[in-house]
Amino acid sequence: MTTTVPTHVQQQPRRVRPRHYLMCPPTWFDVTYAINPWMDPRLPVDRERAYAQWSALVAAYRAAGHRVDLLDPVPGLPDMVFAANGATVVDGRTLGARFATSQRAAEAVAHRAWHARFGVLYGGRALADPVAVNEAEGDFAVLSSVVLAGYGFRTNLAAHAELAALTGREVLSLELVDPRFYHLDVALAVLDSDTDQVAYYPPAFSARSQAVLADRFPDAVLADDADAYAFGLNAVGDGRNVFLPVGAGHLRDALEARGYVCVEIDTSELLLGGGSVKCCTQEIRPARSEEGDPR
């Protein structure tokens, strides 16, 4: 369902910059193990429904003018639909993933093969194999001036230094303290990477990291408990549109009040695996142009 912002609540014009996403169909999606607090193997999964929800997200991206490439799903890897965890691409430089759990380890191989084959199409400059554990865009949020990097449950602090060395970007480490928000992308959302606009849920972070966020992003949108538990921060922003799961009403209203268009997607079946909109979406960020494109 798409919610259009009434003119009278728009605070400033928002600009869409076309994005390039990599996604993987939930062909083999299932919950046969529990590696996060949201997974329960006792609950049945409706794979057909999951596929329909994922397809609606793909259609919404394409309708907004974004490019979506597809990664072939691999039998026996039920979490491959959560493509955000497979690699991080910044300025055409790609850091592969190294998963914290054995159940997902083989996904990194499939992602590396895709980037090795197709990196030339997006101006790939380098493809680095990780040394430290990192779960890619699950814990890396890329802005124009900085990469926000989560740690505490999955990605190791040492991986933050690897990404900084590969990309030459500042990497700002943020400690996650609530196991329900085990990845940064369920505690913080990038609304507009070009202007460094974010939304986040303060209780997911340590007191020190909350202070860092408040200082660095004084105008951030703050999510409430209901938003966070509905996975509302597992969202994707393109500068104007914010694609987010159904159920985060407070967050939706706050975003609309700031001039964003909220595109709500039903991801209830995918939530059984502990993921939603952002988890399904890996962004391919090409090299910056000579004209100073902030990508």
Residue 187 in tokens: 């505690």
What separation in angstroms does the CA of 226 have from each of 55, 187, 210, 222, 275?
Answer: 26, 12, 19, 12, 16
Q: Count Cβ atoms within 10 A of the Cβ of residue 51 and give its class: 0-12 exposed, 13-18 middle, 19 or more buried.
A: middle
For the segment 37-65, the average pLDDT, to the nearest whole number, is 98
Neighbouring CB atoms inside 10 A of 217's CB total 18
The arithmetic mean of pLDDT across residues 95-118, rounded, is: 98
183 is catalytic: yes
77 or 122: which carries more pLDDT confidence?
77
Q: Are strands 140-142 and 147-151 parallel, antiparallel or unpaired?
A: antiparallel
Annotated catalytic residue: which of 24, 262, 279, 280? 279
Sign of the CA dihedral running 239, 277, 129, 179 = positive
Fill in the DSSP letter of residue 289. Answer: P
Structural domain boundaries in the chain:
2-6+17-283
Q: What band does 11 get if pLDDT is binned at 50, 70 and 90?
A: low
- Contact status, residue 114 vs residue 83, Cβ threshold 8 Å: no
Give the Cα separation of 223 and 233 in Å (integer).
Answer: 8
Q: For the residues 94-116, what does the mean pLDDT come to?
A: 98
279 tagged catalytic: yes
Share of residues in the chain with pLDDT > 70 (%) = 94
Residue 5 pLDDT > 90: no
What pLDDT score does 167 carry? Answer: 97
Q: Which candidate in 183, 250, 262, 280 is catalytic?
A: 183
The predicted pLDDT at position 124 comes to 87
pLDDT tens track for 142-195:
999 899 999 999 999 999 999 999 999 999 999 999 999 999 999 999 999 999
CA distances from 209 to 164, 182, 193, 213 (A): 19, 15, 20, 6
pTM of the model: 0.93
- pLDDT number for residue 243: 99
Question: Cα(178)–Cα(206) distance, rounded to whole angstroms?
Answer: 9
Each residue's pLDDT tens digit, 233-247: 999 999 999 999 999
Distances (CA, A) of 205 to 42, 98, 160: 30, 23, 17
Residue 120 has pLDDT above 90, yes or no: no
User: β-strands 261-265, 2-3: how paired?
Assistant: antiparallel
Q: Compare 9 and 187 and report the one with higher pLDDT.
A: 187
Residue 176 is given by DSSP the state B
**Residue 242 CA to its chain's centroid (Å):** 12
**What pLDDT is attached to residue 291?**
33
Q: Structurally, what CATH architecture does the domain formed by 2-6+17-283 represent?
A: 5-stranded Propeller (3.75)
Task: Return d(Cα 208, Cα 10) in angstroms, integer.
Answer: 33
